[in-house]
Amino acid sequence: METSSFSPQLLEIRDAISKICSQFPDEYWASHDETQIFPKELHAALARDGWLGIALPESEGGAGLGISEATMMMQTISQSGAGMGGAQSVHGNVYATQPVAKFGTEEQRRAFLPKIIKGEWRVCFGVTEPDTGLDTLKLKTTATKKNDGSGRWVVNGQKIWTTGAQGAKRMVLLARTTPVEAVEKKSEGLSMFFINFDKEKPGLELKKIQKMGGRAVDANQVFFDNYEIDSDSLIGKEGEGFRVVLHGMNAERCLVAAEALGLGYAAIERAAKYARERVVFGKSIGQNQGIAHPLADAVMQLEAAKLVTYHAARLYDDSRDPESGITQHAIGVAANSAKYLAAEAAFKACERAVTAHGGMGYAMEYHVERYLRDCFVPRLAPVSKVRNSDSQSIAIRC
């Protein structure tokens, strides 16, 4: 990967994260993918050195850096060989907490963020629903305030593809607090909550989804049936949750794009190594244009997607300055475009890495088959590859 476009600080982060990830070889990730065991050792190592708070305020124990730095961290984790399993073990703690840091009260930030930064709490993101998909404004999960004066809320509904819910202590939840027919705009009437995610309490049920890739981290269906949440769970103003949660969604797109890049670069590195070492008919197969040219093309696609990804992350960070003039629409276009382009580049790189290995690309010991399975995660969500025109229009609408 060409690194001349990165600042010294980003390169320092890359080196520091690489050092941590070097403790977890490919065999570690292959084993956790096969056994579907959460990589708690990586999570603990990153928490121990303060990396879980990379983009959270210094006042609460975070590093006070931005999504650009977090993007580099997530790309480096993925590129180390951890893939989506390693990346998804920590990325929810980074992007899902951005709305809490920006819109939470001082009391909420002090109560919630330090425990996330220390690794005591893991966080999941409860937005996607079975019948709405990307049409977030039509979600059906409701939160209704109780009439007993307690200020508590009762949640009913269902979420799906909730990553890391099995071990999460808190959930960022988007729910409708005013019926859609009672608001002027569909984006109104939604509220964001940061809730206690207690699987022992009545009214909360999880069902694990058996999936194709990224299997070290669980994905789930979550069912709420009169599940009570605390009065201090509301983040920001009631009815303005969609505007609030966008700060998490746009950050998520940047991080997922980076994770896709990491997968793609890792796959190309393995393919290039194999092509140099594999000798057929008296020469390495990498000397054949049929092997070299497809890999070179994949690298160019990754390089282009890399530039778009870090541009989106910089826009996100620069928008924190109220004088910047950068709109959420501009960030949404950049972040969604980055995620789409990075996912496509990663798929091309992983697929070509497998084919460059020939029959051995199908063997688990070379790991590229795992990368190929993993790369469908960013390709399918949170902006699906349906058709080019559909994905472009989604990016523009966001």
User: For the segment 122-134, what is each residue's pLDDT rounded down to a tens digit?
Assistant: 999 999 999 887 7
pLDDT (0 to 100) of residue 186: 84
Provide the 10 A C-beta neighbour count for residue 322. 7
pLDDT (0 to 100) of residue 381: 83
pLDDT (0 to 100) of residue 179: 93
Share of the chain above pLDDT 70, in %: 96
Residue 90 predicted with pLDDT over 60: yes
* In the block, residue with structure tokens 């200020």: 151
Provide the 10 A C-beta neighbour count for residue 14. 19
pLDDT (0 to 100) of residue 383: 64
pLDDT (0 to 100) of residue 385: 61
User: For the segment 330-369, what is each residue's pLDDT rounded down to a tens digit?
Assistant: 999 999 999 999 999 999 999 999 999 999 999 999 999 9
User: For the segment 253-312, what is each residue's pLDDT rounded down to a tens digit?
Assistant: 999 999 999 999 999 999 999 999 999 999 999 999 999 999 999 999 999 999 999 999
User: For the segment 153-173, what is each residue's pLDDT rounded down to a tens digit?
Assistant: 999 999 999 999 999 999 999
Confidence of residue 386 (pLDDT cuts 50, 70, 90): low
Residue 398 predicted with pLDDT over 90: no
pLDDT (0 to 100) of residue 45: 97
Share of the chain above pLDDT 90, in %: 90
How many CA atoms does the CB half-sphere of 113 hold within 13 Å?
Answer: 29
Average pLDDT, the chain: 93
Confidence of residue 97 (pLDDT cuts 50, 70, 90): very high
Confidence of residue 14 (pLDDT cuts 50, 70, 90): very high
Let me know: does 84 contact 374? Beta carbons within 8 Å. yes
Per the DSSP assignment, residues forming a β-bridge with 229 are 153
Q: Which of 216, 276, 306 is nearest to 14 (CA)?
A: 306
Residue 76 predicted with pLDDT over 90: yes
Rounded distance between C-alpha atoms, residue 75 and residue 256, angstroms: 9
